[in-house]
Amino acid sequence: MIEEKEAEQVGNAARNLANYVNETGRSVRVFGAPPPVRKIMHTVVNDDEGINNQSSGFGMFRHIVFNQTTPGTDTPVESPESSE
Could you give the angle at the alpha carbon of 28 between the alpha carbons of 80 and 42, nearest 5°? 135
Q: Is the pTM above the cut of 0.85?
A: no
* Count of CB atoms situated within 10 Å of the CB of 20: 13
- Separation CA 78–CA 33 (nearest Å): 25
pLDDT digits (tens, 9 = 90+) for 28-45: 999 999 999 999 999 999
CATH numbers and ranges of domains, the chain? 4-68 (3.30.1370.50)
pLDDT at 76 over 80: no
